[in-house]
Structure 1
Amino acid sequence: MGKPVIFEGDMKTHADALYHKNAFNLLASDMIAFNRSLPDVRPQQCKSLFYPEVLPTTSVIIIFHNEAFSALLRTVHSVINRSPRHLLKEIILVDDASTQEHLKVKLDDYISRHFHSSARVRIERLPTRSGLIRARIHGALNAIGDILTFLDSHCEVNVGWLEPLLAVIDKDRRNVVTPTIDVIDDNDLAYKGSDQLPQVGSFGWTMAFRWTAIQTMDLEEAKRNPTLPIRSPTMAGGLFSIDKGYFMELGMYDPGFQIWGAENIELSFKTWMCGGSLYTMACSHVGHIFRKFAPYTGMGSYFHRNNKRLIEVWLGDARAFYYKLHPDVMRIDAGDIQDQINLRKKLDCKSFDWYLDNVFPESPWPRKGSIFGFVSKSTFRFEFIEYSLAE
């Protein structure tokens, strides 16, 4: 039931020595069954819900690069074991040019032996390292399900995880939905979930994703009925479902983004500003190993370049505040963004000002006439800036 794996003595020393390979306890992962049981941590009201028999099908897309064999296969097994067969169209494993031997012939053989009859599981191998964003685009373009469901390669989906996501999209194809993301401990692989209301996604002055409490305007309804979708200003980006056609209409991810970073905020903005909605479901739970560092080499971080594109396309006049705090980003060459500006106009997207007022009124982002400053060891200085968020 998702219990921890505890090592002592020489075994702990060995486990600690392996930790850096995947940024989690590889030895513990290898000792846990691919199909281990998990505690049902959904709110009680979720357990008595019935969903329509006929729902859209989904393609589950999992990107991996040099992932641990056990973690990857446990992700796949959990999806197959806990997804209604008639709703799971396929599982696409996109190999972003892995170099480790266990992800080549050994993985091919395992997939062909174990999943030939139970579900359609296939591997798409990219010839060169492309990064998370382009690997996901590749998976989306090759998917045949009605809905795209993206998962990271070190997850375990829980009981009843899929139907709540598909049902919300079935009501409106412009709904984008994330599960409640539970923690799988990186040290002992314990599954740590709760039946309490989840946090939702947000962002701060750096534009980096962060978790926050459900906003006041949504909290009472969520407490009254936790089975309903909960509005989320942004999403973490690793685990979500979206209608395939709608994903294409939104332009998928900005094709000018490189490797990883800011794609989750961009898709969140696109969804809300261009006519869609983004929700988190308390009735859908997926465990995820949150790593303390990226164990990969040679890719670098493209966060600031991607952020520059995000800021220029989606923030309008509010970008002046961002550049005030991050002047170095202003000097970055983010490439040609005209296609993204044209897409925004084509989709008749609303402004960032509208987004703050209607979607994220509790945002720390300042409005016109706001005062901001910082506290140093010797001074307390405020600076007054005035700018318009209107576009």
Structure 2
Amino acid sequence: MFKKLDKPYFDTREGYNESYVDSLPLLRNIPDYRPPGCENITYPTSNTTVSVVLNYHNEVLSLLLRSIYTILAAIPPHNLCELILVDDASNFTSYPDLERVEPLVSQFTVSVRYFRFETNKGLIYSRVFAAKKARGDTLLVLDSHVEMKKGFLEPLLQISDRNYRAIAAPVFDFFETFRMVHDDYDGHGLGYDAYLNWVWVIKYFTGTVPWQIPGILGGAFLMTKRRLEEIDYFGKGLVGWGGENIELSLKNLMCGGEIWGVPCSRCLHFAASRNPEIHGDRVHASKTSNVVTVAKSYLDDHQFEEFLKGRPGYPYADERAVAENKKLLQDLKCDRDWEWIREHLMDPVIESFSSKTHIAVGLMFGEQCIKVEGDDVFKLHPCDSSQPFVNQLRLTKRFELRWGKQRCFDIGGTPTRLSLCHHLEGHQKFHYSILTEQLSNKAQDTCLTFKPEDATLAFKKCTRNSPNQKLRFKTVFLPDLIP
């Protein structure tokens, strides 16, 4: 049914294993990834109507059609108002099969509205365009390479029916088609760090009860048309792809809304082997400038200054959009801010501005700062006061020795090396003493030690009064936490 392309060409094109995804039936019995107990929950019948939005550019035909077919099979007919397809200027020379989508879906009994742009508008424009066209009570926005089972919609509608200001997000189950790897992204503990990067705090969450979260991933969410109109949709001043999910989340929360992660609603997402910043024939539409516009719109002046320290050389914000966004917050009398979101919805270990989650920042030996090269080499470099926290060695309130956005030093291997922060202490727990000036790991009685022979540092057995183990932090925020 589908054309075949060799893997090397396809991998550079869209990042999926085309032979594999083409081999799958359009309707199949996918695994049930829900937590135990979800199958026993009965949800009240909802008469809320849903407009489903799928926007795409040069999508793999089998993935797109599978998304459409599973939506039609999973959503109760009395809830499904319409399916809105937005073709964002797909290249029919390279993707001729996409011309078959419109005649194929025209055979369905459900209302299918098909729009095609002749020039590429980008994901954000396409979604807002579709949202304004939608006729349903609620809008279900989905990526165009997903699958779901029956029972997907009902837990989401329960959230939005209870509060029209609530955004309901299913749990994403990612499936990478070359390595055949499955992973779930339940969003528990998910938040933004000081630079509006996603941070995933690893927690072991089980249960069927929805939980409040600080943001959506953007690939699958449901919210009411009324709320979208009330907050003037999303994406003002944003181009292409990226940052729109952060903006929608912040704006909705700051203006009295809620965001819920719903564990009994699952969405299987076919994950590409690369990031969609360059998607098909599109030129990279700078996600970075989008996030700067979002930050300047929704952070206060001090927070925005801190944000920029982590974005060296980033482009300027869209000042017109910033002014319009700030005016909207005033007009809607939005009384929450970033600090409210951080305090009420984000795990306390997620790095925030200034000293919120740090004991000390900027580890030094002598007059030079210690930096990391690769995953395991400590070297000395001249200190740079303009460097953001993310580019400095820092001790957190969880006594992690952090470097970068989500990486912590782990003493469990040889040599000690960076790995994903797991927040479970143990091999990632370090201590600094102002009295002895040593940075140590108690589990192995080792201290970070300067090695004169190659001017690097490594963890060696702690030795009292060793001059090569005397370190200090450039800035200490919470001296009471350092013995």
Matched residue type, 1:354: W
Are positions 1:142 and 2:133 aligned together? yes
Q: Which residue of 1 aligns with 2:450?
A: none
- Are the aligned partners of 2:156 and 2:222 in contact in 1 as well (CA < 8 Å)? yes
Quote how far apart the aligned CAs of 1:67 are.
Answer: 0.3
Q: Distance in 1 between matches of 2:151 and 2:84?
A: 21
| Within-5 A mapping of 1:302-341 | 302-316=286-300, 317-329=302-314, 332-336=316-320, 337-341=322-326
Q: Please, what is the CA RMSD of the aligned residues?
A: 2.5
Q: Distance in 2 between matches of 1:273 and 1:52?
A: 30
Quote how far apart the aligned CAs of 1:188 are.
Answer: 6.2
TM-score (norm 1): 0.85
Q: Which residue of 2 aligns with 1:20?
A: 12
| 5+ residue gaps, structure 2 | 364-369, 372-378, 382-392, 394-471, 478-483
Matched residue type, 1:146: D
- Are the aligned partners of 1:69 and 1:102 in contact in 2 as well (CA < 8 Å)? no
Q: Which residue of 2 aligns with 1:265?
A: 246
Q: Distance in 1 between matches of 2:155 and 2:225?
A: 17
TM-score (norm 2): 0.69
- Are the aligned partners of 1:201 and 1:209 in contact in 2 as well (CA < 8 Å)? yes
Q: Distance in 2 between matches of 1:326 and 1:383?
A: 21
Query: How many residues matched?
Result: 361
Q: Which residue of 2 aligns with 1:201?
A: 190
Quote how far apart the aligned CAs of 1:271 are.
Answer: 1.6
Which portions of structure 1, spanning 4 or more consecutive aligned residues, are displaced by more than 6 angstroms? none
- Are the aligned partners of 1:182 and 1:286 in contact in 2 as well (CA < 8 Å)? yes
- Are the aligned partners of 1:203 and 1:209 in contact in 2 as well (CA < 8 Å)? yes
Are positions 1:76 and 2:68 aligned together? yes
Quote how far apart the aligned CAs of 1:209 are.
Answer: 2.5
Q: Which residue of 2 aligns with 1:365?
A: 352
Q: Helix, strand or coil: the match of 1:378?
A: strand
User: 1:309-329: per-residue Cα shift (whole Å, max 9, x none)?
Assistant: 111111102112112222323
Q: Which residue of 2 aligns with 1:107?
A: 101
Q: Which has the higher helix share?
A: 1
Distance change >3 Å, CA 364–CA 211, structure 1 → 2: same
Quote how far apart the aligned CAs of 1:300 are.
Answer: 1.3
295-304 or 280-289, which moves further after superposition? 295-304
Q: Which residue of 2 aligns with 1:292?
A: 273
Identity level (%): 27
Q: Which has the higher strand share?
A: 2
- Are the aligned partners of 2:48 and 2:138 in contact in 1 as well (CA < 8 Å)? yes
Q: Distance in 2 between matches of 1:372 and 1:257?
A: 34
Distance change >3 Å, CA 318–CA 243, structure 1 → 2: same
User: 1:326-371: per-residue Cα shift (whole Å, max 9, x none)?
Assistant: 2323x62523121111001112221212221222252311355755
Distance change >3 Å, CA 383–CA 304, structure 1 → 2: farther
Q: Distance in 2 between matches of 1:385 and 1:276?
A: 37
Quote how far apart the aligned CAs of 1:208 are.
Answer: 2.5
Q: Which residue of 2 aligns with 1:151?
A: 142
Quote how far apart the aligned CAs of 1:201 are.
Answer: 3.3
- Are the aligned partners of 2:52 and 2:82 in contact in 1 as well (CA < 8 Å)? yes
| Within-5 A mapping of 1:118-133 | 119-133=110-124
Q: Helix, strand or coil: the match of 2:380?
A: coil
Q: Which residue of 1 aligns with 2:328?
A: 343
- Are the aligned partners of 2:81 and 2:136 in contact in 1 as well (CA < 8 Å)? yes
User: 1:192-235: per-residue Cα shift (whole Å, max 9, x none)?
Assistant: 467x9664532224322343346xxxx8xx64xx3321111111
Distance change >3 Å, CA 104–CA 186, structure 1 → 2: closer
Q: Distance in 2 between matches of 1:321 and 1:44?
A: 43
Matched residue type, 2:64: L
Matched residue type, 1:313: S
- Are the aligned partners of 1:79 and 1:156 in contact in 2 as well (CA < 8 Å)? yes
Q: Distance in 1 between matches of 2:19 and 2:346?
A: 42
Q: Distance in 2 between matches of 1:54 and 1:333?
A: 42
Q: Greater Rg, structure 1 or structure 2?
A: 2
Q: Distance in 1 between matches of 2:163 and 2:47?
A: 12
119-128 or 41-50, which moves further after superposition? 119-128
Distance change >3 Å, CA 259–CA 198, structure 1 → 2: closer
Q: Distance in 1 between matches of 2:96 and 2:78?
A: 31
